[in-house]
């Protein structure tokens, strides 16, 4: 079995200028905090970030925006981070708003190998701009295409040595879905245990989706 442990330095070094990354979490809950901090310090730039939100001023991956390391944001909410609003209004950073459920489904579609999902959410709003409208059985839907990434940075509560992941409570949020939709998946583990210690029914992300494990310090 391939050894999956990776250092913080080596994990962040894989992310290059211009990369597209998914970052798990919901307003910081369940986010890989130390991986994000190291990414901020690395100075990597021109990133496209896919996340539920842009966190808060001075917090989490929102600092990537404040440091002008992000060229495009794909998210459902940016209201907690003033820099993301300012840069969107000035045209400095592109922001693609995606309704929260649609965001989850677009990411899931990528992981499932689907060509997209159909949803009525966003019809006749700015969300529809540039998208195809499809009529089925007399009802209109928007075709929302899959969202993938070069990297997914996720946070895991307990991870076994092979990469099986358990998320405690609401930290689960977008993490399992993102783990299926990126080329390289790095999990920041709160705790690592031997293989077999996690009950099968407690595994939310199977090891097959996880490429590297960083053990939180």
Residue 210 reports pLDDT greater than 60: yes
Q: pLDDT above 70 covers what percent of the chain?
A: 99
Residues 31 and 24: their CA atoms lie apart, in Å, by 5
With CA atoms as reference, report the closest residue to 200 among 162, 157, 166: 166
Q: Looking at residue 3, what is its pLDDT? A: 66
Of the candidates 96, 93, 187, which has an alpha carbon nearest to the alpha carbon of residue 147? 96
pLDDT in tens, 5-33: 999 999 999 999 999 999 999 999 999 99
pLDDT value for 2? 65
Q: Tokens in use for 31?
A: 């986010």
Task: State phi, psi for 10 to the nearest 5 degrees.
Answer: -70, -35
SS3 143: strand
* Residues 134-186 pLDDT 10s: 999 999 999 999 999 999 999 999 999 999 999 999 999 999 999 999 999 99
pLDDT in tens, 195-205: 999 999 999 99
**Tens of pLDDT along 28-52?**
999 999 999 999 999 999 999 999 9
H/E segment holding residue 52: none
Instruction: Please say if the pLDDT value at position 59 is more than 80.
Output: yes
Please give the angle made by the CA atoms of 69, 105 and 86, to the nearest 5 degrees: 30
Alpha carbon separation from 36 to 4, 28, 101, 123 (Å, rounded): 19, 11, 24, 35
Per-residue pLDDT of 97-136, as tens digits, reads 999 999 999 999 999 999 999 999 999 998 999 999 999 9
Distance CA 188, CA 185 (A): 10
Tell me how far apart the alpha carbons of residues 31 and 11 are, in angstroms, rounded to a whole number: 15
Show the DSSP H helices in 67-190 as ranges: 82-90, 100-112, 175-179
pLDDT at 100: 96
Cα–Cα distance for residue pair 47/130, rounded to 1 Å:
23
- What's the rounded mean pLDDT across residues 84-106? 97
Would you state the pLDDT for residue 138?
97
Residue 1 pLDDT grade (very low, low, confident, very high; cuts 50, 70, 90): low
State the pairing for strand pair 94-97/70-75. Answer: parallel
Mean confidence (pLDDT) of the chain: 96
Domains along the sequence of the chain with CATH: 17-97+148-193+202-215 (3.40.1080.10)
């Amino acid at each position: 079995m391939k050894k999956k442990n990776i250092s913080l330095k080596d994990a962040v070094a894989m992310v290059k200028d211009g990369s597209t990354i998914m970052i798990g979490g919901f307003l910081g809950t369940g986010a890989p905090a130390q991986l994000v901090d190291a990414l901020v310090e690395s100075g990597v730039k021109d990133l496209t970030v896919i996340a539920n939100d842009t966190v808060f001023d001075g917090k989490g991956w929102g600092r990537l925006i404040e440091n002008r390391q992000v060229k495009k944001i794909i998210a459902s909410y940016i209201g907690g981070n003033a820099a993301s609003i300012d840069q969107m209004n000035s045209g400095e950073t592109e922001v693609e708003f995606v309704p929260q459920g649609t965001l989850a489904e677009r990411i899931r579609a990528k992981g499932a190998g689907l060509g997209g999902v159909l949803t009525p959410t966003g019809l006749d709003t700015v969300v529809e701009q540039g998208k195809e409208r499809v009529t089925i059985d007399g009802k209109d839907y928007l075709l929302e295409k899959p969202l993938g990434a070069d990297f997914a940075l996720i946070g895991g509560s307990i991870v076994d040595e092979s990469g099986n992941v358990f998320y405690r409570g609401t930290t689960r949020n977008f993490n399992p879905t993102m783990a299926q939709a990126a080329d390289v998946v790095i999990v920041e583990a709160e705790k690592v245990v031997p293989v077999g210690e996690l009950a099968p029914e407690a595994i939310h992300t199977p090891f097959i989706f996880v490429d590297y494990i960083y053990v939180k310090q």
